[in-house]
């Protein structure tokens, strides 16, 4: 029974004079500066559009939580009061508003919710001068489909008022039940359900055995949402020493850092593993807990390789012991997983960038694992990528195989060959310059076939277009591809998630199964491709940058 009840709150209708114009269509949410979100009626307008668009709002259950960044709890309060005004029957949120994206996906599925609203700008920085975001997930637990986000967008174009109840903010400091008008607000611990799910997937006893041996690990939560999950998981349940979790307290501005688990933004962790001898395994997750970076001593695991290794070793994880239905990767992700899928005799799908495309394949039971080069890996257990799940997969495999991370990699490459891979990001460049650069290459594409790049003949050059194998829908313009005869590839995309200027992403891939060439530095192995595309795309001249901001 509810522990507290508001006296019947009144519903207010607030008129908006300035139209809401800048939600980008086709994205699963809204990501903008915190300042923008603080401007009058901005957050409220977007929430109104969501509540008007999602199916089943009236009488339905909604999951709400976020990564703890600046603006998190204010947004939860606004959503609670607007949901009550829109007739939601039950809203489930979490203590201190902390809920990782994969945990939200699980709650949506396990509580039969109509969907969820996740407050996060993922790996973007937070705080009053950072970014904030509102993501919308559907009833399958995954990012809302393109048709829903397009509908939300069109609703924002005509919206001129929103509904909200007048009630004081509910305390999120401890679990409990509250009533706002007719709506039940359940505040639950956002960690319990997720960790219970992990215990069903993995053999915790085995992992505990590994961590209790001479196998010190370090996890960096980057002061973001995974801190409380990781402390409970690694220290309380798996008995790792308390120092195993770094930066485990969520902070509104992530301690001034950038909660993106890559070699640039998690450089302290990278340094501990790549240059130190204290730890055998290191990992980090991003702001909202869906991304992961895996490191071994002296060894960085490229995310594309990580997906391939997880696929090749999935049978060692209890939940996947019976084999995989199939796998999928985003188009720019390397073909390392394709080689494993071929060996296993299972399907391997190539989808556009973004998790929502995996959702249809997962829902149709066509795949079990999927992943992206951008540090995202996941499985059918939820409909989002899942950072801590990926870390547990690695630990389970290490516990079974009783070897080091770098041995796993070396064995993998000698068995399947190595797909050298790198992504070069040019961040915060002038948006017009980026568009001009991209359009120029796009115009060149039809003429590139038969030409040479990095000494190789170009076999195909196009703009990736995807036909969904389940619903037949077609998604165009998903990235410029230059495919070479020796199976090397270069992909060019403009980011859809950056908030400052434009971000150009250049993805480079080259395969070898020559035993003498399996342990080169990636940048060295890809040198001629890098040079070739820089010249062809006039990248340095047009971005005004001599080198990328982030190299992965
Ligand atoms: C980036 C990644 C993409 C990922 C998305 C959300 O998008 O590249 O793989 O799905 O973040 O985490 P982008 O900025 O490239 O559009
Ligand atoms: Zn994220």
Burial of 205 (0-12, 13-18, 19+ CB in 10 A): exposed
Closest by alpha carbon to 263, among 367, 375, 362? 375
Q: Which CATH superfamily is domain 194-416 in?
A: Alpha-D-Glucose-1,6-Bisphosphate, subunit A, domain 3 (3.40.120.10)
Bridge-based pairing state of the strands 480-484 and 489-494: antiparallel
Establish whether domains 3-190 and 194-416 are of one fold. yes
Q: Is the pLDDT of residue 17 over 60?
A: yes
SS3 content of the chain, % helix, strand, coil (to 5): 35, 25, 40
Q: Residues enclosing ligand 1, CB less than 6 A?
A: 122, 330, 353-355, 372, 374, 376, 495-498, 505
For every residue of 254-298, DSSP letters joined together read GGGS----STTTTHHHHHHHHT-SS-SEEEEE-TTS-BEEEEETT
Ligand nearest to the CA of 100: 2
pLDDT tens digits for 324-375? Answer: 999 999 999 999 999 999 999 999 999 999 988 999 999 999 999 999 999 9
As a whole number, mean pLDDT of residues 62-73 equals 97
Q: Quick one: which atom of ligand 1 is closest to the CA of 354?
A: 10
- As a whole number of angstroms, the distance between CA 203 and CA 399 comes to 10
Residue nearest to atom 4 of ligand 1 (CA): 354
Residue nearest to atom 1 of ligand 1 (CA): 497
Q: Is the pLDDT of residue 526 over 90?
A: yes
Ligand nearest to the CA of 288: 2
As a whole number, mean pLDDT of residues 482-500 equals 91
**214 band by pLDDT with thresholds 50, 70 and 90:** confident
**Ligand 1 pocket: which of 372, 384, 491 to mutate (most atoms <8 Å of CB)?**
372
Catalytic pick among 34, 45, 105, 122: 122
Output the CA–CA distances (angstroms, integers) from residue 71 to 29, 33, 225, in the order listed: 16, 11, 14
Closest by alpha carbon to 434, among 475, 380, 379, 495? 495
**57 band by pLDDT with thresholds 50, 70 and 90:** very high
Q: Which CATH superfamily is domain 418-551 in?
A: Alpha-D-phosphohexomutase, C-terminal domain (3.30.310.50)
Q: By the 8 A CB rule, do 261 and 292 touch? A: yes
Residue nearest to atom 15 of ligand 1 (CA): 495
Measure 363 CA to ligand 1 centroid, in angstroms: 21
Measure 122 CA to ligand 2 centroid, in angstroms: 4
Ligand nearest to the CA of 101: 2
**Ligand 1 pocket: which of 288, 371, 497, 549 to mutate (most atoms <8 Å of CB)?**
497
Cα dihedral 413, 323, 100, 284, rounded to 10, equals -20
Phi, psi of 191, rounded to the nearest 5 degrees? -105, -35
Taking the model in full, what pTM does it have?
0.94
Ligand nearest to the CA of 120: 2
- As a whole number of angstroms, the distance between CA 303 and CA 374 comes to 7
Task: Give the least confident one: 3-7, 214-218, 366-370, 539-543.
Answer: 3-7
Between CA 393 and CA 404, with CA 399 as vertex, the angle to 5 degrees is 95
Measure 51 CA to ligand 2 centroid, in angstroms: 23
pLDDT tens digits for 503-512? Answer: 999 999 999 9
**Per-residue pLDDT, 7:** 55
Q: Where are the domains of the chain?
A: 3-190, 194-416, 418-551
Q: Quick one: which atom of ligand 1 is closest to the CA of 503?
A: 14
Measure 164 CA to ligand 1 centroid, in angstroms: 33
Q: Quick one: which atom of ligand 1 is closest to the CA of 496?
A: 16
122 has catalytic annotation:
yes
CB-side neighbour CA atoms (13 Å) of 218:
22
Which tops the pLDDT comparison, 213 or 403? 403
Q: Count CB atoms within 10 A of the CB of residue 280.
A: 20
Q: Is the pLDDT of residue 162 over 80?
A: yes
- As a whole number of angstroms, the distance between CA 38 and CA 126 comes to 13
For every residue of 443-474, DSSP letters joined together read HHHHHHTT-EETTEEEEEEEE--EE-TTT--E
Q: Is the pLDDT of residue 21 over 80?
A: no
Q: What is the CATH number of domain 3-190?
A: 3.40.120.10
Measure 123 CA to ligand 2 centroid, in angstroms: 5
Bridge-based pairing state of the strands 369-372 and 376-379: antiparallel
**Ligand 1 pocket: which of 224, 359, 374, 495 to mutate (most atoms <8 Å of CB)?**
374
**156 band by pLDDT with thresholds 50, 70 and 90:** confident
> Residue 44 has which token pair?
């409220």
3-state class (DSSP) for residue 141: coil
**Per-residue pLDDT, 23:** 56
- As a whole number of angstroms, the distance between CA 71 and CA 47 comes to 14
Measure 496 CA to ligand 1 centroid, in angstroms: 7
- As a whole number of angstroms, the distance between CA 438 and CA 443 comes to 9
- As a whole number of angstroms, the distance between CA 284 and CA 222 comes to 7
Burial of 120 (0-12, 13-18, 19+ CB in 10 A): buried
């Amino acid at each position: 029974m509810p522990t507290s009840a508001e006296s019947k709150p009144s519903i207010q209708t607030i008129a908006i004079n300035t139209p809401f114009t800048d939600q980008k269509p086709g994205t699963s949410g809204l990501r903008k500066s915190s300042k923008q979100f603080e401007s009058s009626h901005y957050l409220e307008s977007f929430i109104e559009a969501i509540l008007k668009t999602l199916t089943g709002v009236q009488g339905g259950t909604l999951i709400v939580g976020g990564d703890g960044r600046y603006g998190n709890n204010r947004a939860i309060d606004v959503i609670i009061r607007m949901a009550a005004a829109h007739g939601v029957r039950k809203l489930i949120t979490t203590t201190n508003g902390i809920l990782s994206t994969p945990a939200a996906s699980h709650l949506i599925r396990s509580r039969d919710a109509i969907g969820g609203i996740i407050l996060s700008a993922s790996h973007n920085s937070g705080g009053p001068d950072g970014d904030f975001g509102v993501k919308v997930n559907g009833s399958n637990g995954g990012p809302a489909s393109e048709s829903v986000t397009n509908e939300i967008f069109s609703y924002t174009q005509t919206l001129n008022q929103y509904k909200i109840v007048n009630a004081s903010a509910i305390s999120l400091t401890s679990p409990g039940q509250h009533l706002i008008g007719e709506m039940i607000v359940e505040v639950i611990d956002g960690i319990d359900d997720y960790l219970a799910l992990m215990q069903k997937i993995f053999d915790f006893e085995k992992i505990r055995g590994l961590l209790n041996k001479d196998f010190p690990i370090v996890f960096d939560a980057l002061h973001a949402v995974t801190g409380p999950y990781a402390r409970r998981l690694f220290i309380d349940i798996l008995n790792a020493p308390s120092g195993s979790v770094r930066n485990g307290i969520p902070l509104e501005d992530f301690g001034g850092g950038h909660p993106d688990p890559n070699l640039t933004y998690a450089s302290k962790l990278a340094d501990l593993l790549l240059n130190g001898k204290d730890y055998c395994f290191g990992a980090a997750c991003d702001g909202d807990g869906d991304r992961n970076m895996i490191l071994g001593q002296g060894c960085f695991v490229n995310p594309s390789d990580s997906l391939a290794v997880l696929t090749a070793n999935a049978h060692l994880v209890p939940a996947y012991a019976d084999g995989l239905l199939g796998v999928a990767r985003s188009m720019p992700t390397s073909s390392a997983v394709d080689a494993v899928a071929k060996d296993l005799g299972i399907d391997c799908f190539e989808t556009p960038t973004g998790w929502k495309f995996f959702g249809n394949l997962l829902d149709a039971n066509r795949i079990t694992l999927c992943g992206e080069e951008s540090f995202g890996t996941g499985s059918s257990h939820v409909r989002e990528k899942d950072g801590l799940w990926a870390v547990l997969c690695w630990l389970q495999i290490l516990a079974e195989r009783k070897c080091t991370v770098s041995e796993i990699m070396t064995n993998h490459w000698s068995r399947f060959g190595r797909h050298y891979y790198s992504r070069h990001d040019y961040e915060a460049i002038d948006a017009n310059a980026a568009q001009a650069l991209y359009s120029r290459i796009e115009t060149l594409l039809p003429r590139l076939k038969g030409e040479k790049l990095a000494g190789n003949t170009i076999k195909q050059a196009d703009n990736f277009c995807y036909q969904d194998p389940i619903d037949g829908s077609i998604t165009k313009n998903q990235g410029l591809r230059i495919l070479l005869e020796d199976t090397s590839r270069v992909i060019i995309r403009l980011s859809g998630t950056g908030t400052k200027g434009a971000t150009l992403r250049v993805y480079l891939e080259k395969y070898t199964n020559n035993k003498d060439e399996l342990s080169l530095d990636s940048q060295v192995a890809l040198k001629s491709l890098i040079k070739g595309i820089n010249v062809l795309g006039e990248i340095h001249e047009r971005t005004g940058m001599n080198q990328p901001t982030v190299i992965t």
